Amino acid sequence: MREIRPLRQEDWNDYVKISMNAYPGMRVNTAVEQDRLRNRGQRMNADPTITFYGLFENGALRGVMRLHDFTMRLHGVDLSAGGVGAVAVDLYHKKRRIAYDLIQFFLDHYRERGAPLAVLYPFRPDFYREMGFGYGRKMNRYRIKPADLSGDGRRENVVPLTNRDRHALVACYNRFMAQNNGLMALSDFAVHTFFHSPKLRLAGYWQDGLLRGYLVFRFEPLGEDNFLRNDLVVRHLVYETPEALRGLLAFLHSQADQIERIILHTQEEDFHLLLADPRNGRAALMPSVYHETNTQGTGIMYRLIDLPRYFALLRERDFGGQTVRLRVTLADSFYPVNAGSWLVDFADGRARLGESGDYDVEIRLDVAEFSSLAVGATDFRRLMTYGLAAISDRQYIDTVQRLFYTEKKPLCMTAF
Ligand SMILES: CC(C)(COP(=O)(O)OP(=O)(O)OC[C@H]1O[C@@H](n2cnc3c(N)ncnc32)[C@H](O)[C@@H]1OP(=O)(O)O)[C@@H](O)C(=O)NCCC(=O)NCCS
């Protein structure tokens, strides 16, 4: 018999065994490394928003996952979202639908708690797309020569942050979160990691006594043969004002004497506008003639788990000022409770779930694509162009485009 429940004290040794075999790349082999993995798991589990679950068969642990109770700022509204990470199945029990049961449990768990969305980072995008998760905004990796960043910002306003600045950092992030779309509130565990990880450094930009931006970064040696050659890897860049951005960039610019490249990860597509030379150092040209500026990857995925709740929570959002009775028909083979048709009545952009009845137009699509649309990671016209959505009356394409369009594509800076 299968049971899924939170891990208890006596389960952590088995958790370590399953995880170390599921993620050999983490190189957990020695007793010390195993202790470290267990302690880290237990420390995370102590955060009230994080819980490790196990799937047990007749009492034996077969699979694990970590659930995160997130608050996401979506289209200007704070709502709950469920996150899952560290999914791992016992090496000897793969392909027995253990991951399937874990993910079903995960979706039910958050649906019952009123979350309209679930999120995850996929180990393989296709595995989770089949389960109905849609792509979020892509991540860009820039490899910038420090001298190519502008040095004219107010570097004197940039100072290292210490544990005393915790509240200022959280307040700055919260304001940044309010300005943007899709960001999730910082967990205590994440803030603790920023300030206590021996590898991480924090640089903050202060303006009139307020922290207006910060960088979380670390150094990465370029090789064994010369310890003086390092890259500087920026994990987070948060800024509320152009001055804060330019100040932080000036700080990075000033590292030119010692740092080969700033490795900067950002979901902003336009970052090359900030670089004197936008090329990332790879000489090969793309036809004809395009210079490589950054590499890109897809990561964070979103999944709608409760369409009525999504529209109920976003009742104050302006869906493009449109007035239309829209029928949404979702295909959801993995989670059938979420499949079906709904009538959404938009009046001057405000959405209300309607009773079944007349409608102006119907759209039909898979939950994965609707999820990308619902968070603003893609737009309806693109889905139509790619044949990933269908519409009952093509004259309404522009209306539906305007309903879901947002210039603020979703950001995610939460590692889990
Ligand atoms: C990846 C991993 C979690 C898979 O675990 P698993 O228990 O072997 O996977 P499952 O047997 O549950 O396979 C998924 C099932 O869901 C099914 N499924 C997926 N989408 C579906 C859908 N839309 N409708 C119906 N079924 C669906 C698949 O068909 C598959 O079932 P099948 O094999 O009977 O066809 C496991 O191999 C593992 O631990 N890997 C290493 C660690 C890792 O990479 N973890 C992921 C981190 S995010």
Q: What CATH architecture applies to the domain 305-404? A: 2-Layer Sandwich (3.30)
Strands of 44-144, DSSP E = 50-57, 60-74, 77-89, 117-120, 134-135, 139-144
For residue range 279-290, list pLDDT tens digits in order: 999 888 998 899
Task: Please choose from 17, 61, 129, 130 the residue to mutate so as to test ligand 1's pocket, defined by most ligand atoms within 8 A of CB.
Answer: 130
Peptide bond before residue 288 is cis, with ω within 30 degrees of 0:
yes
Task: Please choose from 26, 89, 300, 330 the residue to mutate so as to test ligand 1's pocket, defined by most ligand atoms within 8 A of CB.
Answer: 89
Residue with tokens 């080969």: 260
Q: Of 59-68, 185-194, 380-389, where does mean pLDDT reach its minimum? A: 185-194
If you average pLDDT over every residue of the chain, what do you get?
Answer: 96
For residue range 321-371, list pLDDT tens digits in order: 999 999 999 999 999 999 999 999 999 999 999 887 899 999 999 999 999
Q: Identify whether the C-beta of residue 92 lies closer than 8 Å to the C-beta of residue 80.
A: no
Please list every protein residue whose CB sits less than 6 Å from any atom of ligand 1: 22-23, 87-89, 94-100, 122-123, 130-131, 333-334
Q: Identify whether the C-beta of residue 20 lies closer than 8 Å to the C-beta of residue 36.
A: no
**Is residue 105 very low, low, confident or very high in pLDDT (cuts 50, 70, 90)?**
very high
Q: Identify whether the C-beta of residue 141 lies closer than 8 Å to the C-beta of residue 263.
A: yes
**Is residue 7 very low, low, confident or very high in pLDDT (cuts 50, 70, 90)?**
very high
Considering only residues 356 and 195, tell me which one the structure prediction assigns the higher pLDDT: 195
Distance 116 CA to ligand 1 centre (A): 23
How is the chain split into domains, by residue range?
2-115, 140-297, 305-404
Predicted TM-score of the model (pTM): 0.96
The superfamily CATH assigns to domain 140-297 is Gcn5-related N-acetyltransferase (GNAT) (3.40.630.30)
Distance 25 CA to ligand 1 centre (A): 19
Whether the pLDDT of residue 223 is over 90: the answer is: no
- Of the chain, the percentage scoring pLDDT greater than 90 comes to 93
Sign of the alpha-carbon torsion through 394, 398, 400, 404:
positive
One fold for 2-115 and 140-297? yes
The residue whose CA is least distant from atom 12 of ligand 1 is 97
Sign of the alpha-carbon torsion through 47, 49, 55, 58:
positive
pLDDT given at position 357: 85
d(CA 349, CA 329): 20
For residue range 234-264, list pLDDT tens digits in order: 999 999 999 999 999 999 999 999 999 999 9
* Greatest CA separation for the chain: 72
pLDDT given at position 288: 82
**Is residue 301 very low, low, confident or very high in pLDDT (cuts 50, 70, 90)?**
very high
Residue with tokens 């990857």: 297
Residue whose C-alpha is closest to residue 235's, from 207, 201, 282? 201
The pLDDT of 79-100, averaged and rounded, is 97
pLDDT given at position 356: 77
For residue range 379-406, list pLDDT tens digits in order: 999 999 999 999 999 999 999 999 999 9
pLDDT given at position 282: 87
d(CA 127, CA 46): 30
The pLDDT of 136-153, averaged and rounded, is 97
Locate 378 and state its tokens: 């893609």
| CATH number for region 2-115 | 3.40.630.30
Other CB atoms within 10 A of residue 377 CB: 24
The residue whose CA is least distant from atom 5 of ligand 1 is 99
